[in-house]
Amino acid sequence: MQELTNILTTIDRMIGGSSWFVYLLLGTGLFFTIYLVFPQIRYFKYAIKIVRGKFDREGDEGDTSHFQALTTALSGTVGTGNIAGVALALHLGGPAALFWMLVTALIGMTTKFVEVTLSHKYRDKASDGSISGGPMYYMKKRLNLKLPSGKVIKTGSLLAVTFAVATIFSSFGTGNLPQINSISNSLFETFEIPHILTGAVLSIFLGFVILGGIKRIARVTQTLVPVMAVIYFTGALMVIIYNYENIIPSLSAIASGVFTGSSATGGFLGASVAFAFNRGVNRGLFSNEAGQGSAPIAHAAARAHEPVSEGLVALLEPFIDTIIICMLTGLTLMASGVWSEKFENRFQMTDMEIVEGFYTDENREILRDHLSGKKTLPLFSGNMEIVNGTPADNITILHARSVAEEVNIYQNQQPFSGAVKVIKGQLAQPDKYTIEGKSLLHSAPLTTVAFSRSWLGEYGKYIVSIGLLLFAFSTAISWSYYGGRAVTFLFGIKGILWYKAVYIIGFFLASFTDTTIVWILSGITIALMTIPNLIGLLILHKEVKQEVKSFWNEYNESFPDEKGPKY
């Protein structure tokens, strides 16, 4: 298991965790923001009007309304990224990472607008009469390379197939595995419900919904999204108001770390500017999926007689998902103070390593250099002596990027005494032992603890469990549709039933899969899906601008008193 984790981590660092991927993502959004003259600001009020049906025409073709398409796409983005993903970004990069999540969302509003516009324009009808769309369709139809000799090389088909295959894998890595994993972990922490029971029950519900197709999915999500938003907002605001004295210091920490990096606080060992930037952008993308090409698949099904109106609807998604909900989570974590505190917990082996020598939080610089890979410490190999559950003082156990304290090692639920074999910082037989102690938390457990810091006390964690259940489950529903449309593109309607069966089985199995591996896998699949989509958007930038001009000309003719943007 550890070897697999190391391999996936290496791949993630080369693709999604690399600087070039971040620059490509932000660079594409920034290019279109300037090229289209800040549409996320100028078009915002019109986007709200269109969601309410302002530009609808009788006879518009599609399977869902603008609002249903928005809630379906939001249900695909509002999930563990908003609860667990924000906590992970703060855990890795500190407060400065939250700033870069905001920047990613603001720029991502334009990226989402562009990708949905193109995907809606080139959507198709499947053999069963349903609408099928997404980036793979505009790639296939518009990205073929024409040589001077007149010969056409089907580069668009290659990109389309790459995207569709990546979408199928990403439906598991983004919408399936991490969602049920976070749900089962949260319900176990809160109610001690066995992971496998959570997976079994929710798999049955998932099957019932997704087998009904996009119309049933739209009906479910248009109810779930508003309900879960109200529940989560209420709990988060209670925490922030209860800890009101920490609001200004929290905002100050976010701003001050942008150019200096996040300083060490409590058990948090600090993070460099580059690391905070990378983790903030990476988690921001995971949250709102701008540029990934997933939301255009849902928006392609919307009823509209031209594509830009649906692109405007999509522009609202990163604003709602990241700027509002993610920042609300971030402020909750910071105001409560839990992000830098150590808590008693059971260690995950893939989140733990053992180094030679005795270190404490006072050795911050040495430990920070080790965690960043700048100057690594020697990993312990040999027999780790344990006396009545307590390790010897010649080693240091690091867990969740912090120095573990009050560590106890158990075997068969009893304190262990004897020698434990360790190879390069990892237990040789991890399944034989249980390790508990104090360390930093991350992902959903961290947000769960934060919600207990209000007038509700321990009852606050129920809000996270319920919110996470609704958020993550709705995400899994939407991503099953995305993956299904990719299967339709590659294999036709006949492949959907097989895909859905595998999707449900994977959903069940992931309920008791190691969290760290799930999150690393999701990062890889996001990158593999995003890269061909961004390339396609940049190639077709002139066509996007022409569509935007055409739309506003029509809009101004239809509503002369509106005084919309003119070209």
Give pLDDT tens digits for 444-457: 788 889 999 999 88
CATH number at residue 48: 1.20.1740
Domain boundary among 439, 474, 489: 439
Query: Does residue 226 or residue 13 have the better pLDDT?
Result: 226
SS3 of 196-242: HHHHHHHHHHHHHHHCCHHHHHHHHHHHHHHHHHHHHHHHHHHHHHH
The more confident residue out of 146 and 288 is 288
pLDDT digits (tens, 9 = 90+) for 298-349: 888 888 888 999 999 999 988 988 888 888 999 999 999 999 999 999 998 8
On whether residue 544 sits in a domain, the answer given is yes
Confidence of residue 435 (pLDDT cuts 50, 70, 90): very high
Q: Of 211-225, 428-442, 523-537, which gets the smallest average pLDDT?
A: 211-225
pLDDT > 60? residue 14: yes
Residues 86 and 66 reside in one and the same domain: yes
* 75 plus 101 within the same structural domain: yes
For residues 472 and 534, membership in a common domain is answered with yes
pLDDT on residue 567:
62
- Name the more confident of 283 and 377: 377
Cα 333–Cα 95–Cα 261 angle in degrees, nearest 5: 160
Query: Does residue 307 share a domain with residue 176?
Result: yes
Exposed e or buried b for every residue in 374-392, given b needs 16+ CB within 10 A?
Answer: eeebebbeeebebeebebe
Tell me phi and psi for residue 499, to 5 degrees.
-60, -45
Residue 463 and residue 319 share a domain: yes
The whole-number pLDDT of residue 526 equals 79
Report the percentage of the chain scoring pLDDT > 70.
95
Residues 331 and 215 in one domain: yes
Residue 374 has pLDDT above 60, yes or no: yes
Out of 166-170, 218-222, 436-440, pick the least confident. Answer: 218-222
Span 156-178, average pLDDT: 86
Between 15 and 32, the more confident residue is 32
Residue 1 has pLDDT above 70, yes or no: no
Question: What is the residue-averaged pLDDT of the chain?
Answer: 86
Residue 38 in domain: yes
How does residue 180 score in pLDDT terms, banded at 50, 70 and 90?
A: confident
Amino acid occupying residue 303? R
Same structural domain for residues 234 and 378?
Answer: no
Does residue 444 belong to any structural domain of this protein? no
In a domain, 500, yes or no: yes
- Please count the residues of the chain: 567
Give the chain's domain count. Answer: 2
Q: Residues 208, 214, 219, 220: is their CA dihedral positive or negative? A: positive
pLDDT given at position 331: 93
Cα–Cα distance between 72 and 317 in angstroms, integer?
A: 11
Single residue among 439, 468, 496 that ends a domain in this structure: 439
Kindly report the number of other CB atoms within 10 A of residue 560's CB atom: 9
Write down which residue in 391, 406, 439 finishes a domain: 439
**Quick one: pLDDT at residue 87?**
86
What number of CA atoms fall less than 13 Å from residue 347's CA on the CB side?
32
Indicate whether 508 pLDDT > 70: yes
563 domain residue, yes or no: no
pLDDT of residue 544: 95
Which pTM was predicted? Answer: 0.83
Q: Are residues 139 and 31 in the same domain?
A: yes
Is the predicted pLDDT of residue 518 greater than 70, yes or no?
A: no
Q: Residue 332 sits in which domain range?
A: 2-341+451-558
pLDDT greater at residue 402 or residue 286 = 402
Strand partners, 427: 422
Query: Sheet holding 418-423: strands in order across?
Result: 390-391, 382-387, 418-423, 426-427
Q: Are residues 144 and 32 in the same domain?
A: yes
Among the ranges given (24-38, 159-173, 290-304, 509-523), the one the predictor scored with the smallest mean pLDDT: 509-523
